[in-house]
Amino acid sequence: MYSRIAGTGSYLPEKVLTNHDLAKMVDTSDEWIVARTGIRERHVAADNEVASDLALAAGQRAIASSGLVADDIDLIIVATTTPDMVFPSTACILQSKLGISGCPAFDVQAVCSGFVYAMTIANMFIVSGQAKNALLVGAEVYSRILDWNDRTTCVLFGDGAGAVVMSASEEPGVLATKLHADGGYADKLSVPGWVCGGKTIGSPFVQMDGGSVFKFAVRVFDEVAREILEAAKMSVADVDWFIPHQANIRIMEATARKLKLPLERLISTVDRHGNTSAASIPLALDESVSAGRIKRGDNLLLEGVGGGFTWGGVLVRY
């Protein structure tokens, strides 16, 4: 038994925040942001929208795309860094909003690698016979954990959700996966705050050593891609589409060049979405599927690098 992508879905909040808008808030410019990141705009959740709301919209679209109904889902995994609350999990809240109960539901916290972690876990559930139809959602409201006076971080992130339904199949879908983490880099990208006695201890905002993150990401994106391809006994030439975590166009293009992968096979939405962390890969995937770029039988290389550091990828046949 194998697992295969049966449907995709996504959701972006209505409000769009452009670089020109940000230039009115902090000392920055459209030219500065585009040159360093490739980002031109990002979506920001409404005051009354939380991660589970974004996840619900994306999840419902993915379920409809798969031809299933909510009651067919027997596993829910939400990858998020910005949960609705400390507990219960956003996955349990999403489960209730979908009107179903009984199946396992839990969150995965691997920051920007969260979706490839979730896909790897769901694949294990399905191939072992413990689930038949898994709903995976990456959902983020990063606007809640940004210091809007810090131009080095607030220009980078956006809100959104992307979802995938993975179903049991007699045909291979997930061809290879590799996951890694190294907590020794924890201070390079973090939100070093927590709740204690009703107060926030430390900082509740994203802190980032941009140079260290850039160098690390370019290196491990290349390394893990080669690991995955070797495990699948395939080459770069077999990859139809490369969908990395949408953090920075310079990281994405540098990785493609190191792999000698033509840039026309790189799927990028970072210019319009910004960095949506765990939501970025499924958002880019759904947009490309909906546009008809990705077709059945295409081989997709999905990769993420996030705070922790965590990193990994999945090679999947759509």
136 neighbors 166 (Cβ within 8 angstroms): yes
Q: Which of 19, 133, 248, 275 is catalytic?
A: 275
The reported pLDDT for the residue numbered 212 is 95
- The secondary structure of residue 67, as a DSSP letter, is T
Helix runs in 69-112, H state only: 90-98
Helix 114-127 to helix 280-290 angle (10° resolution) is 70
Sketch the domain layout of the chain as residue ranges: 2-170, 175-317
Q: Which of 305, 197, 180, 309 is nearest to 252 (CA)?
A: 305
Q: Which of 19, 43, 92, 112 is catalytic?
A: 112
Other residues' Cβ atoms within 10 Å of the Cβ of residue 198: 5
Q: Is 275 a catalytic residue?
A: yes
Burial of 86 (0-12, 13-18, 19+ CB in 10 A): exposed
Number of Cα atoms under 13 Å in the Cβ half of residue 11: 24
Q: Positive or negative, the Cα torsion across 111, 269, 141, 77?
A: negative
The reported pLDDT for the residue numbered 128 is 98
- The secondary structure of residue 266, as a DSSP letter, is B
Give the span between the Cα atoms of 236 and 255, in whole angstroms: 12
Cα dist. 227→54, 56, 101, 254, 304 in Å?
33, 34, 38, 18, 14
The reported pLDDT for the residue numbered 67 is 98
The reported pLDDT for the residue numbered 39 is 98
The reported pLDDT for the residue numbered 183 is 98
User: What averages of pLDDT result for each successive group of 10 residues across the chain (318 residues)?
Assistant: 97 98 97 97 98 98 98 98 98 98 98 98 98 98 97 97 98 98 98 96 97 96 98 98 97 96 98 98 98 98 98 98
2-170 shares its CATH topology with 175-317: yes
The reported pLDDT for the residue numbered 160 is 98
**88, two tokens:** 């219960």
The structural architecture, per CATH, of the domain 175-317 is 3-Layer(aba) Sandwich (3.40)
Give the span between the Cα atoms of 198 and 54, in whole angstroms: 27
Q: Where are the beta strands (DSSP E) in 170-208?
A: 174-181, 189-190, 193-196, 199-202, 207-208
Q: Which of 154, 245, 248, 273 is catalytic?
A: 245
Instruction: Please give the CATH number for the structural domain made up of 2-170.
Output: 3.40.47.10
Q: Which of 178, 144, 114, 107 is nearest to 306 (CA)?
A: 114
In sequence order, which residues have a C-beta less than 8 Å from that of residue 222 and are 6 or more positions away?
255, 258, 259
162 neighbors 138 (Cβ within 8 angstroms): yes
- The secondary structure of residue 82, as a DSSP letter, is S
Amino acid found at 192: P
The reported pLDDT for the residue numbered 107 is 98
Q: Is 248 a catalytic residue?
A: no
Strand 133-141 to 75-79 pairing? parallel
Q: Is 112 a catalytic residue?
A: yes
